[in-house]
Structure 1
């Protein structure tokens, strides 16, 4: 500790200073100012400076033995108010996955880059989970370490930042899987026919998805006020989010991103579907005393929006050779329909609410068999 003398028109004061080292190696300076330079003042200053140092370390969570798990929890607490509930849930699931590989008791400073590399390697190459999932796990790890650096828990994280996931070469199975992310006209017709026997309203819902390219959350969030009957358009401005497995707790949230907010022009079939559903809703509201009108269009018998899991459960009862049916395949189907019609890429992106062209191109480039046949037919016609 050292003392600096401060003199001004109001008199002389004494600044007691001390430089100290944080557990992460950083050095800082702390000071207090007193009116005395006596022995008692020195003792008092020493006590107050030590208390200040303890407060700083406590505030920054600078325990040299703080675990990576503890830092991950601090990061989750810090980011929760700044992100959507669905994003926070995903963050929490990623953290849970990370600590199936990393010991929850290991101090952050002892977590090495090779530990993180091995974890990502196992997730991607051994568990055979998707490349994008492995990348999201790595992104979460980086976020945790960046948070630790901002809190001065650790100084250098460049080796963590340098870790990457090397994409595996495509196998024939994966290529076939990518090419089966949409349905052709015959397959779609079969799906709708099978669904009509199981649940006619769900069949109409699925058909509407395939004709508009809506995400399932966007479709379920559609309200009567979003439907312009005169212009035959719908305004996509929200998404329905489910936070529990049984789908009992739902909330209408904001769309995926700013590009997801859009107006979609409806063809005659879409208009007919909406009018049919709306008429049926009015009938059900009269028949069921417990009907709870909430303003949504695609609802179950009691007026609440359909549960996503219920829809996907029904789709599992529908069989199309070589196709894995989820609600998202009908969004891809719509993109493939537009590609087959020769609609420009930019127009497709706007209609489905895509920002990144690569997202649309991943489906756009997987041309349908009809387009392939059309190419051959046109080439043959040139040689006649």
Structure 2
């Protein structure tokens, strides 16, 4: 420390200066205080003041930050993370993550600290959902992804140092029951089942029956079907361009209800057969009639598969109608018709890669779940026919 005598109109004062090492840059820096005397007692006081001033400047803020981190709740950090990632996600994905966080909060108190949300608690939540409550593997996997992402964000924000034990959590496969095996191998309809299913649907709701038949003919996701507009249909070429997807968590009246497809592979042009073109033509013609005859209630926004008011169907409304179909215990949902399309292409001998391109899959395992089951059935049929082969 060195002392500098300062004389001005106010009298004589003494400036005490010391060098300290900046903990951020590693460089030396000067800190000064001014007192009225230069006594031994004043010099001792100056040293204390200089140390306090340095501490206040660089360490008090750090201590305050550490106190805040120690009081951070898991819920608060999860909310921060949801806000942080929102600009990078689709609306539907962000909604799914919010729902996942809310489900996890059912297991802990709102004031549970981040530091108290241990890997063991995380694993207990995941295991309870999967093994006890029997949530689907895909549903629980999303929860696990969310937990890991929250802690990666916490590490990035310096709220926590080591997240290894969180990222190492795995969801182990559980034994498959006969019922689950049946569901896994019966996610599509045979030709006879499809005919019966559509026959029942036509008696319940003709427009929904035709829409589901269109999915079985094209392999569209139901969200892609509901996003189709007349401008996406090239009648002369007999194709449709898929570049939209219905956001199921938003109201059909929301202008943002139509978003982008599931992934980049979902952008595609699909060839239509005569029956698929016939279905499209009938919907477009009927929609025009409704717009002309009942313009006050029918608002034409260009969508093809619409309700009587011109808005795309709600997925829940479609599935409620499909639940009324009775077909040998099979669960009939909009997605089973997409799987049926894959099975029909498989029976026709279409290569796996071509099927993936047509239905917009980027992961071959997704397609193979249907492809493999169909080919196994085909092999069984061949085996039975070979038994009867005689010369």
**TM-score scaled by length of structure 1:** 0.86
Q: How does 1:308-347 map to 2 (within 5 A)?
A: 308-347=315-354
Question: How far is the alpha carbon of 1:346 from its aligned partner?
Answer: 0.3
Query: Which residue of 170, 176, 195 maps to 1:170?
Result: 176
Query: Which residue of 310, 314, 330 maps to 1:307?
Result: 314
Q: How does 1:1-384 map to 2 (within 5 A)?
A: 17=21, 19=23, 37-39=32-34, 50=56, 62-244=68-250, 247-249=252-254, 251-290=257-296, 291-367=298-374, 371-372=378-379, 374-380=381-387, 383-384=390-391
Check 1:61–1:95 CA distance in 2 against 1; reply closer, same or farther (3 A cut): farther
Gaps spanning 5+ residues in structure 2: where?
3-16, 36-45
8 Å contact from structure 2 (residues 18, 50) kept in 1: no
* Separation in structure 1 between the aligned mates of residue 211 and residue 139 of structure 2, nearest angstrom: 29
Question: How far is the alpha carbon of 1:243 from its aligned partner?
Answer: 2.7
Q: Deviations over 1:280-332 (max 9, x none)?
A: 11111111122211111111112111121111111111111121011011100
* Separation in structure 1 between the aligned mates of residue 334 and residue 67 of structure 2, nearest angstrom: 45
Check 1:89–1:133 CA distance in 2 against 1; reply closer, same or farther (3 A cut): same
Gaps spanning 5+ residues in structure 1: where?
4-12, 20-27
8 Å contact from structure 2 (residues 223, 248) kept in 1: no
* Separation in structure 2 between the aligned mates of residue 237 and residue 48 of structure 1, nearest angstrom: 60
* Separation in structure 2 between the aligned mates of residue 343 and residue 325 of structure 1, nearest angstrom: 25
8 Å contact from structure 2 (residues 306, 313) kept in 1: yes
Check 1:29–1:59 CA distance in 2 against 1; reply closer, same or farther (3 A cut): farther
Question: How far is the alpha carbon of 1:109 from its aligned partner?
Answer: 1.4
Check 1:48–1:327 CA distance in 2 against 1; reply closer, same or farther (3 A cut): farther
Question: How far is the alpha carbon of 1:271 from its aligned partner?
Answer: 0.7
SS at match of 1:177: helix
* Separation in structure 2 between the aligned mates of residue 145 and residue 57 of structure 1, nearest angstrom: 22
How many residues end up aligned between the 2 structures? 364
* The 10-residue stretch of structure 1 (134-143 or 232-241) with the greater mean CA deviation from structure 2: 134-143
8 Å contact from structure 2 (residues 252, 311) kept in 1: no
* The 10-residue stretch of structure 1 (280-289 or 39-48) with the greater mean CA deviation from structure 2: 39-48
- Structure of higher CA gyration radius: 2
Q: Deviations over 1:345-382 (max 9, x none)?
A: 00000000000000000011111797256413552365
* The 10-residue stretch of structure 1 (295-304 or 259-268) with the greater mean CA deviation from structure 2: 295-304
* The 10-residue stretch of structure 1 (294-303 or 98-107) with the greater mean CA deviation from structure 2: 98-107
8 Å contact from structure 1 (residues 298, 305) kept in 2: yes
* Separation in structure 2 between the aligned mates of residue 144 and residue 30 of structure 1, nearest angstrom: 32
8 Å contact from structure 2 (residues 347, 375) kept in 1: yes
Q: Deviations over 1:230-260 (max 9, x none)?
A: 110001001011335x655361100000000
* Separation in structure 1 between the aligned mates of residue 51 and residue 306 of structure 2, nearest angstrom: 69
8 Å contact from structure 2 (residues 252, 313) kept in 1: no
Question: How far is the alpha carbon of 1:31 from its aligned partner?
Answer: 8.7
SS at match of 2:269: strand
Question: How far is the alpha carbon of 1:90 from its aligned partner?
Answer: 0.5
Aligned counterpart, 1:8: none
Check 1:30–1:62 CA distance in 2 against 1; reply closer, same or farther (3 A cut): farther
Root-mean-square deviation (CA, aligned residues, Å) is 2.8
Check 1:32–1:110 CA distance in 2 against 1; reply closer, same or farther (3 A cut): farther
* Separation in structure 2 between the aligned mates of residue 373 and residue 132 of structure 1, nearest angstrom: 30
